[in-house]
Structure 1
């Protein structure tokens, strides 16, 4: 069974959805047969590599919310993370371009370290509040999961894997994916958002029995217009 996950490292619900999937897999009797493939998705491909806004400011502008309402949203996101054991310092994340972090993930996939790097980058962004467009941040994350610093640096200095990232995004557009996380199981079942563990487990059971039809379930997600 193959589960493809479109996500962005700047998306809080992608991190929550990742944990939901991991919890579902612990209950899935065929978990050892599951192949996880991470697909790139940028919430805003045009965002600068420099950090020039706060989480609260972005929410106020994007949703038209008051400062108090924006902070309430931030706390609700952090609470969603806490419920699945994540330390998400969403208020103080350093929002910047994530394109190179997706390229680095593609490199990791060629080395069998895709899952480990995916987790490391999410933790760097949401827990440590590192800047994911920063070269040193990416090199450290690569080293932390056993990727050679020199190899990672060589890749970052090139255009390697740029086309792979764009292909993922083009495929998302063809599939009508406008928000993440988005899960596709065996090319048959689509799930939008950070679905509850029970829903994910049910979807995997259905896909395993080959009794599904194309369907989309909706849950918490982030898109170009914001998180909901």
Structure 2
């Protein structure tokens, strides 16, 4: 079973949703048969590499909301994050464009390190005030993950994986995704937002049941043969 998650490193609900999904997946009996793929999404592609201002100033300007209202929103989201064991520090968040961070996640995926990269980027952005638009920071993170310096130099010296990031954007739009996090199971089931773990559990179970082929049950023990038992087919009924 394949689960694709459209998410932005700069999205506070995406980290909360990641934790709630992980809680559900850890309790899922068939979790070893689940493949999780992180897809790129940007809430604000127009952001410069670095924004000269605080996250409160940025959202107040972008959404036209009063600073006090934004601060209240931050407090609510931080409380929700705390319930998932996360320590959001919005006063320290560095507002920056996340495109290069998404490219790094694609490179990490080529090394089987996609989830580790996603986790570090989200934690560093919301809990530790790291600059996700900084090439120096992203290079340091890549080295921490075990990616070679030459590959990281190539990544940031070229536009490598830029097309793959944009393809994620396009696929998301084609699926009708207008907000994140967004979870797609086997391209058949979709869940929007940081749903409770119970909702994710129910979705996993439903998708698993609907993706499994029928298992034939032998009737030999009951004096018959399941494959030769009387049945009706396109040529009529056995008599």
TM-score of the superposed pair, with normalisation by structure 2: 0.85
> CA shift at 1:35, angstroms?
0.6
Alignment of 1:106-117 (within 5 A): 106-117=106-117
Q: Which moved more, 1:63-72 or 1:93-102?
A: 63-72
Does residue 161 in structure 1 map to residue 161 in structure 2? yes
> CA shift at 1:156, angstroms?
1.4
The 2-side partners of 1:130 and 1:153 are apart by: 20
> CA shift at 1:124, angstroms?
1.3
> CA shift at 1:51, angstroms?
2.5
SS at match of 2:210: coil
Aligned to 2:23: 23
2:182·2:190 contact (CA, 8 Å) conserved in 1? yes
Aligned to 2:34: 34
1:77·1:90 contact (CA, 8 Å) conserved in 2? no
Aligned to 1:147: 147
Report the count of equivalent residues.
212
1:13·1:181 contact (CA, 8 Å) conserved in 2? yes
SS at match of 1:52: coil
What runs of 5+ residues in structure 2 fail to find an aligned partner?
212-239
Deviation sequence 1:57-102 (CA, Å, 0-9, x none) = 1332344332222211111111111110011112321111111110
TM-score of the superposed pair, with normalisation by structure 1: 0.89
> CA shift at 1:122, angstroms?
0.8
Aligned to 1:214: none
Aligned to 1:12: 12
> CA shift at 1:183, angstroms?
0.3
Aligned to 1:73: 73
Deviation sequence 1:170-228 (CA, Å, 0-9, x none) = 011111111000000111110000010000010000000017xxxxxxxxxxxxxxxxx
What runs of 5+ residues in structure 1 fail to find an aligned partner?
212-228
Q: Which moved more, 1:73-82 or 1:57-66?
A: 57-66
The 2-side partners of 1:167 and 1:67 are apart by: 35
Alignment of 1:30-179 (within 5 A): 30-179=30-179
Aligned to 1:215: none
1:3·1:35 contact (CA, 8 Å) conserved in 2? yes
1:183·1:192 contact (CA, 8 Å) conserved in 2? yes
The 2-side partners of 1:23 and 1:141 are apart by: 25
The 2-side partners of 1:61 and 1:73 are apart by: 15
SS at match of 1:125: helix
The 2-side partners of 1:204 and 1:198 are apart by: 10
Does residue 191 in structure 1 map to residue 191 in structure 2? yes
